[in-house]
Each structure stands twice: as structure tokens, then as C-alpha cells.
Chain A
Amino acid sequence: MKRGFTLLALVTALLLSFALYEALIAAPTEQTMGNVQRIFYYHVPSAWTAFVLFLINFVSSIVYLIRRNPKADILALVSAEVGVVFCTVVIVTGPIWARPVWGIWWAPGDIRLTTTLVLWLIYISYLVLRRFSTSGRTPVIAAVVAIFGALDVPLVYFSIWFFRTQHPSPVIGGGGSLDPRMARVLLINWAAFMCLAWLLSWTRYELEVAKRQVEEAQALESLLEGSR
């Protein structure tokens, strides 16, 4: 187990370094936007990684509601938390890219931007609920919130197809043509971010298991002290 974690950490570090080199140096410079387009190699893979994590959160929440399996509950919590980290990267890098390209930091009312911000806020609310609610029903309520939250993910992705927006078309299924060299760098960066997400999720999962064990032991200890 420990060896697997070390191996994953090593692979992630190597892949992230290689992906950074590919994004900043090896990838061709885009003709219209110039070097600022290289933000694409962090912005898009971060969004895809967040979507995968929110999908895991959605599936784990359903499994928890059906089977009441505590492992599914922990996985739902972990995937939402790490997903929010990646979604934060998307929310921050988007405006930094938009400013030199569109001339504005944020396009108010733009459907892609608004739905992404709503998605981030839904999962922030989910984490706040999990952190501060002391009710025994919190995992069930959180699972229901997560299922509703996940409905926003396809809305974010496909909003570009149905509404007018300043945001470019999706790279996959959007009908646009991406230079094969750029597509290769994009996939390398996505693989690197997925490994990072896996590593962070693994760490967070072990931490949550340890936290719950400590809480159970503390509750048992106070129970024993009370009965003396």
C-alpha cells in the first residue's frame, strides 16, 4: 500500500514536470492568441479532472443512499473536496485567460461562466454542509445535494451547444479542429492532473478514515469515563 503510494507520487511528479515542459516549450504557439493560449493546457485539463471527480461523487452518493456503505460516503466527500480544488483552478485561470483575449475578466450573464460558477458554489455548499452539520442524517442530506449538484455538470459542458456564449466550443465533440500536437500536449497534461487528483484523493481518503477512527475512539473513551 505504502509502496504503491510512493510509486504514484513519483509518477505524478515526473508526469507533471514533463507536462509543464510540453505546455510551455514543446507545444506550438497559437497564431491568434500567442503564448497566452498556453493557459489552455492547465485550464481545460483542470475542468475535465473536476468533472471526473464530481462524477465519482455522484456515483458514490447514489451507492451510499442505496447501501449505506461508509466507504462510499468517504469517497463522495473526498471526490467533492478534491473536485472543488480543481474547479477553483478553472474559475481562477479562466478570467486570467479572458482578460488579454476578450478584454474583460468576466462576461456577466455568459452561460458557460455562470453555470461553472454555480457548479463551484454547489460543491462549496456541499462541503460546508458536511463540515458544520452535526446531524446524524448529514451523509444522507449531503448525498441528495450531491445528486442535484451533479445535474449541473452536463449543463456546464453542453451549454455552449444550446446558448450563445463568448466561451470557445468544447475540445471534444464541439466540432472544432485542434492541432494534433496541441491535442497531444493537452492529453499529457490531463493525464498528469488525473494522477495528481488520484494522489490527493488517496491522501484525503486515508486522512478521513483516520479522523473517523479517532472520533470513534474519543466517543468510546468518554462513554467509558461516564460509566465509571
Chain B
Amino acid sequence: MKSMNYLYAAYIATWVIHGTYLMILARQYSRVRKEMESLRK
């Protein structure tokens, strides 16, 4: 594997990790919101 490929792999891995965490937060947020709405009813 060329050195540039390692560089791209590291940068992509970083953004995949942050993106995954953001997705987890978004899912948790929508779940809490649903629970809040059901409590209001």
C-alpha cells in the first residue's frame, strides 16, 4: 500500500469515528424526543 493510501485511511477513519458517534447521538435524541411526546399525551 502506498504511503498516500495510509494517509487517506487515517483521515477517513477519523471522520468515520466522529460520524458514527454523531449518528448515535442523533438516534438517542430522536428516542428521547419520542418519549417526551408520549409523556405529554
Contact = CB atoms under 8 A, between A and B. Distances in A.
Interface of A: 20, 24, 33-36, 38-39, 42-43, 46, 85, 88-89, 92-93, 96-97, 99-100, 196, 200, 203-204, 207, 210-211, 213-214, 217-218, 221
Contact of A96 (B6, B28, B36): B6
Interface in B1-41: 1, 3-4, 6-7, 9-11, 13-14, 17-18, 21-22, 25, 28-29, 32, 35-36, 39
23 contacts: A20-B11, A24-B11, A34-B3, A35-B3, A36-B7, A39-B6, A42-B10, A89-B14, A89-B17, A96-B9, A100-B1, A203-B29, A204-B25, A207-B25, A207-B29, A207-B32, A210-B32, A210-B36, A211-B28, A214-B35, A214-B36, A214-B39, A218-B39
A112 to B, nearest CB: 18
B13 A93 contact: yes
Contacts of A221: 39
